[in-house]
Amino acid sequence: MKNKFLLACIVGLLSASTMYGRPAAETGYASVIRDFIDSHMTSNFKKLKSIMSDNSVLKIPRGEKVLVQEKDDLVSMMKKDAGTRQNCQSGYEVLAKSDAMVIARVDFNYENCTQHDYLIIEKNDRQDWKITQVCKMFEDIKTPLNNDNSVVAKN
């Protein structure tokens, strides 16, 4: 009887140490951000579709207007570019977070410009993190023209 109890304790300890010794599977908003980066870098439209909420939008400022694309349009455009790989470096920073919402900035650094994507990530009714809005901004690179102190933005 004592041997069975001792054996059960040893098995329990080994099980507990194995469970805590493994790295936990990545969950939450960080994996959504990484999947967003990967989908952009590799034109993986299936991954993009899975991390965006059904009513998500992409907003891009153009002059004094804001262009708005819905999820289905964005995924369709990426599907046409399937297999295209971006030639840039990427990184992200979480700007604000709570238990239900995260705001993050994802940077894609190209040779001549930097694209900043501001992500709004929210928990849905099933407690899954999903992107609800992306605001795409480009960093202006100013260069003088004809020595008259004019500036232009290259994108």
Predicted confidence (pLDDT) per residue in 6-33, tens digit: 555 455 554 544 444 433 444 599 999 9
Q: What is the strand order of the sheet 114-123 is part of?
A: 65-70, 52-62, 129-139, 114-123, 101-109, 89-97
Tokens of 82: 């399937």
Predicted confidence (pLDDT) per residue in 104-153, tens digit: 999 999 988 999 999 999 999 999 999 999 999 987 655 445 555 544 44
- Prediction pTM value: 0.72
